[in-house]
Structure 1
């Protein structure tokens, strides 16, 4: 890659109709013009999805684009973009998620994964350090996302995996693509696109590593960025409350939607859906790859009907969707979040 060291240098194309797997060389022009992530995805989809293509047909393309700095030490560099033609809108659809999938894909040798066609039966893709297999998924089809992850992580020693649940299999147009157990590419129906391809999962193991062009410079700018983040007035609140910080402006502007959008805001939102509610259930913080903020939270229900439930939760989206919109208490919100993630559904 010359001056573009730090990229893996390749994109992986998997055609599920023909079972053909090929590598594409990442060109300096593509890196310069589109950087990575959503930039790569948009260019590929513009070039390779024909006009009028059915979002749930074999002509649609599903692209996993890894962010430019993912796999480096740079703080907050963990994001991967998944894009295609959306079955919800018929337009360009895209969704973003963090954690560890993108880092693992880059360390397996690829800056992007491009999935084309449609398999004639359920399959999953296994990527292990540039070795790619298309494998039978009959034993996984019909299982929820968490059960699927249990099987894949046991078989491939704690691999990272993108999986669909029953919602994606049944082409629910707001189906999410689950990123491990607790995160997702949830927006725009990318789980349905993956299901339309009879693709249950993408499992990734990667140990190849990345070589930056200027290792010393990367370390220096990493520390500079870290200091800037920690000096920000938003750092402390975001570390403590994560996305639940958004409940305050939503509430203040009477925009904390309630009762299936029949009310703009509940009068008691500060008591039930304020960011301070996070502290009732949270045990510790959780961070994505290379992130010093750790805005996510590990939650444990210690009493009541859902006692013993443990998971990463207390994001503003499920609290609004299941709490203020549906009238559920916080413990039931956590349970509803678990069910949504198992089924593979967007909670927004």
Structure 2
């Protein structure tokens, strides 16, 4: 057994009652090591294993019948039950774990009825697995970059009115008709709009990341669900026209984070957003189309903490940078990409204008200058 696996198993020896584990990004731990760890920790209810070797053996460990669960439920209900560790899970984050096939995902998801937070982004997730999910306590769901359909997702949304955070970015099949032959209660005339209508009727979201399927009409359908929204990210495939972007402050008055990718923007849109969203702490404009100028940033943003401008401000020079320091005085993170007019003097403007910066990334012309400063530089 490899050394990282042994280290993980040593933790299980010293923490017999462990209920939460986070090994996100620990790629040196093997699937066998994770599986052995799961077998030893029968009290686990929260597992975060994104971007690890979590695979078929680990799924088998989660889904294996646990006598302690079975005996407990038998004494409580007076009849024989067979429960797995998966049935006790409240948090399972396994985004990016490509070593788990569709059948195994179906097996584990069908057993997770107590789940509150489920991250399955960038996995082999398919519709049948979502249809098998019988839980009704979900608060966070991430199915980004998977092949799930809008109908399958609607099935989950309808059962989980407490859903607060949803990530469906990169889900191109949301636009397609239902593809599962096993589920007959959704007609072939299903449209992506039904998903947003169901979200509007059922949920009160605080965070949403969405691309394909988002439009002016779907935003209208979402209105009841996003009155308390604090963060929205619009990605590739989503299209919010000018009218929709202008209505965003009224639809989401509590918005603290706004990230727009590949959207059409203008000075009038940006000035309206900045003037209206006074609680905004995070603003990102990435690869957007249209023309904006420094006029978009001449309004004060006193609460803004993170600013990312990627390929949207090729005109920005040191004078504009000074304007930014004056109107966004509390920045702690700054990323400027595609600003060929900035030069070595820009760093001095940044260091004196934002003494609280802890992270900065500048791309000038075709060269990148990633810099990381301490709180006091």
TM-score, normalised with respect to structure 1: 0.25
Higher RCO by CA contacts (8 Å cutoff, separation 6 or greater): 1
Higher relative strand content:
1
TM-score, normalised with respect to structure 2: 0.23
